[in-house]
Amino acid sequence: MAQKILFIITKSEMGGAQRFLYEFVVRLSPLKYNLLVVAGGNGELLEKLEKKNIKTSLIKNFSNIPGFKNILAFFEILFLIKNFKPGILYLLSSEAGFSGALAGGLYRLLSRKKIKIIYRIGGWAFKEPRNIAIKKLYLLAEKISAPFKDIIITNSEFDRQLAIKNKIVKPEKITTIYNGLDVESLKFLPKEESKKRLGLKNNIVIGTIANLYKNKGLEYLIYAAAKIKNPELKFVIIGDGPEKENLKRLIGEMRLENSVFLTGYIDDAYRYLKAFDIFALPSVKEGQPWTILEAMAAEIPIVATNIAGIPEMLENEKSGFLVEPADPQALALSIEKMLTHTSLAKECAKNALVIVREKFNLVDMIRKNEELF
């Protein structure tokens, strides 16, 4: 009989956790597993999974802040577990991890049935740029729910050590499994075609692909653009999100309308990476970014912040340039250095391609997760 697995994720709009979940579940054998994927609201993830004939459902009451709505989410999850009767409960992201672990733990206690609870986190919520009280609340939620989780997965060793340091979990109950790509399956558009589709000419392009959230630190890329005095340089930000209007306002205030462009959401945005001469990711909080993996696979020189799992992906001036977060001056200098020292930039990009193939491959990601079942 196929093993039942219930996956629960806080949101369905595509981001790092959703990307992992999609890449993982579509490669699990339907002969071995009976899958149900549940998310907090409709979105691209559920739409894509339904096209792959994977069963999906909704939870209405997830909240960005631990509180009353999490209690309602708890009962929704408990009802789902009771009806689906999974052997494995696989939770992704903080809100699902909290409510799901408590519901799964209570179900085990009341039903006396075995259910393995796996929790995967791609960057701790208590490290996000939030009010200090909210950060403490998230940390408390992790500590309360951790005893109900059989294993916790991080996608960086940085986050694993952070959990141990903050006494969330004992070392033997937490492991690191990196995100991975099938490099050969990626279909990048040629440089000229991708530039044409983005409305770019023969300019030098500094680009990024990101959801427009505060965590991504995109204002620092705009500040860096203002510091680099080169009229031939264009900055392109592909993505959408709640910070869009703030970023547009900042671009206007700094009079960068002819230099910095927000494209909005583009489907399969990675295909446009060859349009970029440099890929820049100025995040202030991360896990292990998929977009950096894709830029590595595209053999595009990378400038990124020296935070979380990024230094585990890139070595400074060996496979990319690393700068401290929230430092537009350092970001601007690294971009200029990469543009000036083109041979070093090409060598970094070449080394990064080797690393993504050897260290961050999709087969290993699937196998290591499946071994935990």
> pLDDT per residue over 154-197, tens digit each?
999 999 999 999 999 999 999 999 999 999 999 999 999 999 99
pLDDT bin (cut points 50, 70, 90) of residue 201 is confident
Give CA–CA dist 256/277, Å, rounded: 19
The predicted model scores a pTM of 0.95
pLDDT bin (cut points 50, 70, 90) of residue 62 is confident
Largest CA distance in the chain: 68
Give CA–CA dist 260/248, Å, rounded: 9
CB-CB contact of 143 with 164 (8 Å): no
- Residue 113 has φ and ψ, to the nearest 5°, of -105, 145
**Cα 360 versus chain centre, distance:** 14
For residue 124, the model assigns a pLDDT of 95
Tell me the per-residue pLDDT of 70-105, one tens digit each, with 9 for 90 and over: 789 999 999 999 999 999 999 999 999 999 999 999
Q: What is the 3-state secondary structure (H, E, C) of 223-252?
A: HHHHHCCCCCEEEEEEECCCCHHHHHHHHH
Tell me the per-residue pLDDT of 331-373, one tens digit each, with 9 for 90 and over: 999 999 999 999 999 999 999 999 999 999 999 999 999 999 9
For residue 229, the model assigns a pLDDT of 85
Q: Helices marked H in the chain — which ranges?
A: 16-25, 44-51, 68-84, 94-111, 132-145, 157-165, 191-197, 218-227, 244-253, 290-297, 310-313, 328-340, 342-359, 362-371
- By CB atoms closer than 10 A (0-12, 13-18, 19+), residue 213 is middle
Tell me the per-residue pLDDT of 264-302, one tens digit each, with 9 for 90 and over: 999 999 999 999 999 999 999 999 999 999 999 999 999
The DSSP element (H or E) to which 55 belongs, if any, is strand 55-58
AA identity, residue 85: K
Closest to 284 (Cα-Cα) out of 356, 366, 221, 196: 221
Out of 59-63, 107-111, 300-304, which region has the weakest mean confidence (pLDDT)?
59-63
AA identity, residue 371: E
CB-CB contact of 153 with 119 (8 Å): yes
Give CA–CA dist 49/269, Å, rounded: 19
For residue 65, pLDDT beyond 70: no
For residue 271, the model assigns a pLDDT of 98
pLDDT bin (cut points 50, 70, 90) of residue 305 is very high
For residue 64, the model assigns a pLDDT of 66
Q: What is the mean pLDDT of the chain?
A: 96
Report all structural domains of the chain as residue ranges with CATH numbers, in order of start.
3-176 (3.40.50.2000), 183-359 (3.40.50.2000)
Give CA–CA dist 302/90, Å, rounded: 33
pLDDT bin (cut points 50, 70, 90) of residue 251 is very high
pLDDT bin (cut points 50, 70, 90) of residue 69 is confident
For residue 278, the model assigns a pLDDT of 99
Q: Could you give the percent of the chain with pLDDT greater than 70? A: 99
